[in-house]
Amino acid sequence: MARQGETHTIASNTPAAPDSAAAAAPAPDTAEKLPLSLKLAYGLPNFAGMAMGVPVAIHMTKFYSDSIGVAVGFIALAQVLARALDAITDPLMGWMSDRTRGPWGRRRPYILVGAPLTAISMVALFGPPDGITPLMGAAWFTTAFMAYFFFHTVYFIPHYGLGAELTSNYHERSNLFAWRDGISLLGQAFAAASPALFIAAIKAQGTEQAEAERITFLWFSVGMSVLLVISYYWMCWRVPENPAYSSRKPNPLVPGVRRVLRNHPFRILLACYMVTTITSGGIGVLMPFYLRYALGITDWVEWMGVALLLGYGTGVVTLPVFVRLARRYGKKQVWILSFVLSFICQALLTALPSFIYGDAAAPWVMFFFMIGGMAFSTGQFLGPSMQADVIDYDELYTGKRREAQ
């Protein structure tokens, strides 16, 4: 099951697979090209899923601090707790999904349950009761936010595991995840542009800024939640699971995690994921405060919507280019290029207040977001594609297969 390209290069430093791996049943032959209809059905739920993530990552902190009066420090603490819980539930959910056997398959039961519960949590997160006090708002936020993250894990990890087993073709995986990433970017672009437009329209009727934000994000959450459930139920009906994988012997949790952590390519990939998650998460939370206070941009909500729209839009347009570059020069090399672009953009954006202040900084923010959008979209599809390759290597090395874990 040797692979071409960078995964083989990284793996060359790892010990040869033990004899037990050679005796393992070969992976199902899924190397043929996937039909476009299947790629679309697999990727479509990410439109709503990623669109929901934009206000959670960018607007939520300011929404609760400014509109409800919850202390920013408490919001940060609740987010840390949710992320810590996520670190436990992610591998546990993957292990449970990989072990599940039944007429509905390994992935569908969790998706069918997790998607609607995530939708309910999302609406609760952006729909706190009117007149809620800051103390009760803090309790409401903590409960809804942790529920959102937990149920998001319940459906997202099996969805991800399903994609890793749809094809074993090295380049077709990049294609599959590029389609998913393109749909994700469209959802994020919609989430970036639409709230600012609705807020402006509601404010034009004489509504205060805080109330306009409450109305906008509540109805945005309702719309995206309904779309999330419909698209995931459609995916479960349209995208088949591969029965050859589910017929294998389940893996124990703790020994399985230890074996995965001994996988050298996986450790490299995990470090890359940690860097991208920390940086992108920090930027999302701080950006509203940065635009308003550090740069002093008037109508910063509208400008941020435009910046995000340009960033995600540029990512969609340039996505086919980076797919071709990855095919020609290798996934690892192109992902490194995206890291370099992202670092340059973040460094220049951080230094911007030292040179320019006020509305004159807005065009520069737009420019840096466009370059950053290219880097972001590249990592979005190359990371999952390389992880699927690492899963193959792990199977070759250990004789066990762990798509979701």
- What are the 10-residue block averages of pLDDT along the chain, 405 residues in total? 36 38 40 84 95 89 86 86 83 86 88 97 94 92 95 94 83 86 90 85 85 90 97 94 68 70 82 79 78 84 82 87 89 89 88 86 90 85 82 72 55
Rounded Cα distance, 184 and 13, in Å: 34
CA–CA gap between residue 23 and residue 248 (Å, rounded):
13
Q: Cα 57 to the chain's mean position, in Å? A: 11
pLDDT of residue 72: 86
> What span, in angstroms and rounded, lies between the C-alpha atoms of 66 and 64?
6
Residues 393, 369: Cα–Cα separation, whole Å: 36
How far is 303 from 305, CA to CA, in rounded Å?
5
Q: What is the pLDDT of residue 398?
A: 67
DSSP code at position 241: P
Identity of the residue numbered 286: L
What pLDDT score was predicted for residue 49?
A: 95
For the chain, which domains are there?
6-16+34-398 (1.20.1250.20)
- Only one residue has tokens 């995530």, namely 118
Q: Alpha helix (H) ranges present in 128-169?
A: 134-164
| Distances in whole angstroms, Cα of residue 341 to Cα of each of 335, 356, 368, 375, 378 | 10, 22, 10, 6, 11
Q: Measured between alpha carbons, how far is residue 33 from residues 39, 224, 237, 307, 381 in Å?
A: 10, 31, 20, 36, 17
Instruction: Say how many C-beta atoms besides its own lie within 10 A of residue 248's C-beta.
Output: 15
Output Rg (C-alpha) for the chain, integer angstroms.
22
Count CA atoms within 13 Å of residue 350 on its CB side. Answer: 10
Give CB contacts under 8 A, 24+ apart, made by 268-274.
268/10, 269/383, 269/386, 269/387, 269/390, 272/335, 272/339, 272/383, 273/383
Tokens of 1: 């099951």
Q: Residues 6 or more apart from 155 whose CB is under 8 A from it?
A: 110, 111, 113, 114, 115, 118, 232
The Cα–Cα gap between 198 and 220 comes to 10
CA distances 288 to 209, 244, 307, Å, are 14, 48, 12
Sign of the torsion angle spanned by Cα atoms 288, 290, 292, 293: positive
